[in-house]
Amino acid sequence: MGKIAFVFSGQGDQYAGMGRSLSERYPAAARVFAACDRLRPGTSAQCFAGSEEELKETKNTQPCLFAYELALAAVLEEQGVRADLTAGFSLGEVAALTYAGAVEPDTGFSLVCRRGELMQEAAEAYPASMAAVVKLPPEEVSRIAAGFDRVYPVNFNSPGQVSVAGEESSMAAFCAAVKEAGGRAIPLRVKGGFHSPFMDGASERFAQVLGETAFAAPRIPLYSDVTAQPYGEDFAGLLAKQIRSPVLWERLVRNMIAEGTDTFVEIGPGKTLCGLISRIDPSVRALAACGLEQSETILDEVKTC
């Protein structure tokens, strides 16, 4: 019998109303939202009733997604569905860190709130946008990006998909070059050039916050976006570096599979990671926990793993 991995999603799939029915249906979820509201009043209101524009603001997106993802994980845990190992995409790594017990829930939420604030400040100081490039190998995407001022490959997502971050003044020409090379660039619903040198300032300031944070050994293997390997002891260093470094998602998922994972459960409001994982290795199962809001199917499916 293979292992189950919980993978916590990043920005992009958030939507107005996320978590409302989950909180109304499951006391475990309601408790998570209540705890987040105590530290950041209005978090659940933003999730349940905030506008899409409000949720696009990084300082709001990150705490809201963290709350929703920890609520989903709490419901699964209460129902007897537990992960053998875990990881998260970008901000999802802080949720994974918390789920794995490397920090207390209140600490994890405080970290993600500060992370979102710092990344938004950096995004406003250095306007940039992001796009997912498909139908081209990563080497070709890197070659095209190198021909433009301040355009960087930042997320190595799956075979044939690499996200880039770039100055807004360069992105239109970059996207045209991608099309000419036979690829396609799809704009992402984020405001900022994340996981790139645009985030150097946020990374440095977050390092100061992390330096004052107490970490514990995780109860299950926790994988880093920066190294694609399980964490050792340098939690603060890797979490600070992650903000300005590429996410090595394809390599990370392959490493998890090599460790015996045959079922991935995406913890978040969408199915983006499920799609990436299915393209990385179609032989593994990829399930989306967002289905908990509508049905018990995900519980039944995971319990048969």
Q: In the annotation, is 195 catalytic?
A: yes
Most distant CA pair in the chain, distance: 53
Per-residue confidence band for 189, with pLDDT thresholds at 50, 70 and 90: confident
Assign domain 3-124+196-303 one CATH number from 3.40.605.10, 3.40.1440.10, 3.40.366.10, 3.60.150.10: 3.40.366.10
What is d(CA 99, CA 74) in angstroms, rounded to the nearest whole number? 9
- 168, pLDDT greater than 90: no
What confidence score (pLDDT) does residue 303 get?
Answer: 67
What is the DSSP annotation of 226-265? TTSSB--S-HHHHHHHHTTS-B-HHHHHHHHHHTTEEEEE
Query: What is the pTM (predicted TM-score) of this model?
Result: 0.94
Q: Contact, 117 vs 138, CB < 8 A?
A: no
34 closest CA partner among 109, 112, 115: 109
Which of 9, 44, 158, 195 is the catalytic position? 195
Q: How far is CA 300 from the centre of its chain?
A: 25
Sheet holding 261-267, edge to edge: 85-88, 3-8, 261-267, 285-288
Domain boundaries, the chain: 3-124+196-303, 127-187
Residue range 127-187, CATH number: 3.30.70.250
What percent of the chain lies above the pLDDT cut of 90?
87
- 304, pLDDT greater than 80: no
What is d(CA 83, CA 256) in angstroms, rounded to the nearest whole number? 12
Beta bridge partners of 6: 86, 265
Segment 93-107 mean pLDDT? 98
Kindly report the average pLDDT of the chain as a whole number: 94
Q: In the annotation, is 90 catalytic?
A: yes
Which of 23, 44, 90, 129 is the catalytic position? 90
What confidence score (pLDDT) does residue 12 get?
Answer: 86
What is d(CA 5, CA 28) in angstroms, rounded to the nearest whole number? 21
